[in-house]
Amino acid sequence: MTERATLHQKNLEKIFNPQSVAIIGANQNKGTVPFDIFNGILSGDFNGVIYPVSPGKKNISVIKAYKYVLDIEDPVDLGIIVFPSSVAHMALEQCGQKGIKSVIIISAGFREVGGKGIERERKLLEIAQKYDISFIGPNCLGLINTDPNVRINASFARQMPAAGSIGFLSQSGALCTAVLDYAQAKGIGFSKFVSFGNKADISEVDLMYYLMRDEKTKVILLYLEEVSDGRALMKAAKDVIEQSGKPILIIKSGRTEEGASAAASHTGSLAGSDEICDAAFEQAGIIRCDHIEEMFNIATAFAYEPIPPSNRVAIITNAGGPGVLTTDTAIKEGLQLACFSEETSKVLKKALPNTANINNPVDVIGDATAERYEAAMEAAFQDSNVDGVFVILTPQSMTDIDIIAQKVVDVVQKYDKPVYTSFMGEADVASGIRILQQNQIPHYSLPESMSKAFAVTHQFGQYLKKAPAQRIDMAATDPLKAKEIIQKAIREGKTYLQEYEAIELLNAYGLPVSEGVLVTSEKEAGQMAQQIGFPAVMKIQSSDVLHKVDVGGVQLNVITEEDARRTYHSIISNVQERMPKAKIQGVFITRQIPKGEEVILGLKRDPSFGPVIMFGLGGIFVEIFKDVSFRVVPVTREEVLEMIKQVKAYEILAGARGRSRRDVEAIADAILKLSQLAIDHPQITELDINPLIVLEEGKGCFVADVKVLLTNELEFN
Amino acid sequence: MEKSEVKARVVNVITSILEIEEALVTDEANFIFDLGADSMQSLQLVAGFEEEFDIEMDEDKALDVQTVGHAVDFIAEYL
């Protein structure tokens, strides 16, 4: 953690738990942000002292106002700046002089407006650093802490939400108010609620670390519009999950592709920012949600219920159709219908009418009373084959909705297994749903959402159980040799390596290349081909030719010395004819690699997440099906094996339909070495190994072609 | 018009719109940070100066003016 990040953790204490607050720039004009912020704190039963700072005013409401924050005699824990952006820096400077270290800057008109705003934001940071101040914002809605010992609504949200165990962090202020309204309707409470706006100083990463230590927070939700430092976000998520076991749910808006089409390699064009974001989140254990409803569906499951040890569910319903629907969604989400023990079957048979279905899903029949639901729930909870219970209700004329809801509440209190409910419908079931929500029983209007929430909590439980990653020994690499190759190419003004150079580079990292030699005459071609062995492959080497096949610059199956001489001549003639101005370095001869399955390995640098590796089945599969997987480096062997298995075409490598199984372990080795190469040499911007030929299990794999793109904008260490 | 006369009339407009004592209206005083002008009062000040001096100012530029001294110089350019 950097010095400033450590300072933020200290200063966040007073941002969330202040005993005194100065609202700097408060006014008396109802309906304005400065007044509403002041009023929110005043009317929210804040357990502390409030100081409005408002030049020219003697008081705001009934509270004495100060001209400057410096005029307040007592110490102030938290400064909330609501002045316009043009003078926010003056207010921050005075906070510094007053010794206030914790500040929220609500004001807008900074980086988000460009021009002068960028300069203003820079100035704020400069002042904050001068006085060791940490600030949230600018351009934010503020924060809420529902802890009864604090109770601060330092925001312009309409009201203080209920207390709960969900910590919500949002880059968008406007979304916050909508989320609060949504949560209020669903009876969802929050521990902390923060809008961090432009995150000029305190970022989502700092806030995640704070919530990790916050005893009131069980689940962390985050709405992000931009991931400015993806690696820091991943590290924070891993730390939070590993150290506290708290799940992190993120909505990252902007699932769009940008810049991918302009990329020069397969990896560049396939690795869009959103795909990388998906992969990075998964790798860090972050649960990515598509929308607010899904986020809260899952969040309430985490907040209210224990994580299921396994995925076996019992479904209890008073209607057959919804039971089948729920079964379908459960299976689709990878859950299993629990197989009841003999004892459970006996109990159910005794408690339920003859017409009831005592197998899973249990149908307690349309006329089911609360007692029937109770008997079925008790039996299911007591069965050790059941890890969680889904209770479904449809409102029929004889259904006592509220009584059944209350019965669910009473029964689940006795057991340490999760229960999820779905009272299907809207108007008739509303009061029953309210009972469930008030008692913190997760409720879902659709079975799909219920199954998904259970599946996600179960998967998170499995993620927590994963063994810590093993360190990988990379002693066999020769980074100095690789550096020499890259440095030489950059000195010569190249933006990509010639194939013979790229092969040498991969060889330095122990990647399985077929060694070759660069020849510059027909005679030499014949001699070297003879030495390397037949069949051989010959390829043009020219810094002006990127796509060798297109200019007749590649020949496979060269089988004799005479053939090699002839091929040299024809390759040179082809290129000279099609690209007369191309500068030719020679022809590269390698031993032809035996036939195998073609896969692609790639590397790309993402502006936010850094080096990212890609895997997929090669050939036409890459471009047409885009069946590829990504991971942010560094990676563990386990992660690499997962990424290989993640592609749909993995079955082909695993030996589907009588084909021989391919050497997956050798692919994993190659990916790990590629990952190390990416870490050691930031000058490599993109790299494609396409194809990597994979032989049968135990026989390895070989690089058949490689493309390496470089940047000359980075210094060498 | 003499600058001192411009300043005296500027101070008059400010004290009447912001309802503050004349002593507070120094050259360095910032309209928002020191004199407590809110966004509505900032617009009223621009309108007040235009009326007082019978001029029409560029509103965007006028709202960028931060201090009393700067306001005097800014208005003087229109006279």
**pLDDT band, residue A227 (cuts 50/70/90):** confident
Active site residue B38: yes
* pTM (two decimals): 0.88
Dist CA A694 CA A697 (whole Å): 9
pLDDT of residue B24: 93
DSSP A246-288: --EEEEE------SGGG-SSHHHHH--HHHHHHHHHHHHT-EE
Nearest CA of chain A to the CA of B43: how many Å? 14
Least confident range of A378-392, A622-636, B17-31: A622-636
pLDDT of residue A473: 63
pLDDT of residue A272: 66
AA letter at A638 = E
Is the per-residue pLDDT at A586 higher than 60? Answer: yes
Domains A3-217 and A515-592 fall in the same CATH topology: no
Is the per-residue pLDDT at A11 higher than 90? Answer: yes
Kindly provide the ipTM of the predicted complex, given to two decimals. Answer: 0.90
Substitution target in B16, B38, B68 with the highest count of A β-carbons within 10 Å is B38
B7-53, pLDDT tens digit by residue? Answer: 999 999 999 999 999 999 999 999 999 999 988 899 999 999 999 99
Nearest by CB to B32, from A29, A67, A86: name it: A86
**CATH assignment of A3-217, among 1.20.1070.10, 3.40.50.720, 3.30.365.10, 3.30.450.20:** 3.40.50.720
Q: Which residues of B fall within a CB distance of 8 Å from A57?
A: 36
pLDDT of residue A624: 76
**Largest interatomic CA distance in chain A:** 101
pLDDT of residue A156: 82
pLDDT of residue A331: 97
Q: Which residues of B fall within a CB distance of 8 Å from A54?
A: 36
Structural class in CATH, domain A515-592: alpha beta
pLDDT of residue A373: 96
Q: For A53-70, what is the HEC assignment?
A: ECCCCCEECCEECECCHH
Mean pLDDT of chain A: 92
A133-172, pLDDT tens digit by residue? Answer: 999 999 999 999 999 999 999 998 888 899 999 999 999 8
pLDDT of residue A717: 61
A250-305, pLDDT tens digit by residue? Answer: 998 876 554 444 445 556 666 667 888 999 999 999 999 999 999 999 999 999 99
**pLDDT band, residue A514 (cuts 50/70/90):** confident
pLDDT of residue A263: 46
Is the per-residue pLDDT at A97 higher than 90? Answer: yes
pLDDT of residue A205: 97
Which residue of the set B38, B54, B60, B73 is catalytic? B38
Burial (0-12, 13-18, 19+ Cβ within 10 Å), A105: buried
Is CATH 3.30.470.20 what the domain over A597-710 is classified as, yes or no?
yes
Is the per-residue pLDDT at A414 higher than 80? Answer: yes
**Closest-CA residue to B68 (of A81, B22, A83):** B22
CB A252 within 8 A of CB A288: yes
Q: Which H or E run includes A222?
A: strand A219-224
AA letter at A609 = F
- The domain segmentation of chain A, as residue ranges, is 3-217, 306-465, 515-592, 597-710
Question: What residues contact A95, with CB distance under 8 A and at least 6 apart?
Answer: A22, A24, A69, A79, A81, A103, A131, A133
Q: Which CATH superfamily is domain B3-76 in?
A: ACP-like (1.10.1200.10)
Looking from the CA of A90 toward its CB, the CA atoms found within 13 Å total 17
What's domain A306-465's architecture? 3-Layer(aba) Sandwich (3.40)
Question: What residues contact A346, with CB distance under 8 A and at least 6 apart?
Answer: none
Percentage of residues in chain A with pLDDT exceeding 90?
79
Is the per-residue pLDDT at A715 higher than 70? Answer: no
Could you list the beta-strand ranges (E) of A547-607.
Answer: 554-558, 584-591, 597-606
pLDDT of residue A261: 44
DSSP H helical segments within A439-593, as ranges?
447-465, 479-491, 499-508, 522-532, 561-578
Substitution target in A90, A92, A113, A119 with the highest count of B β-carbons within 10 Å is A90
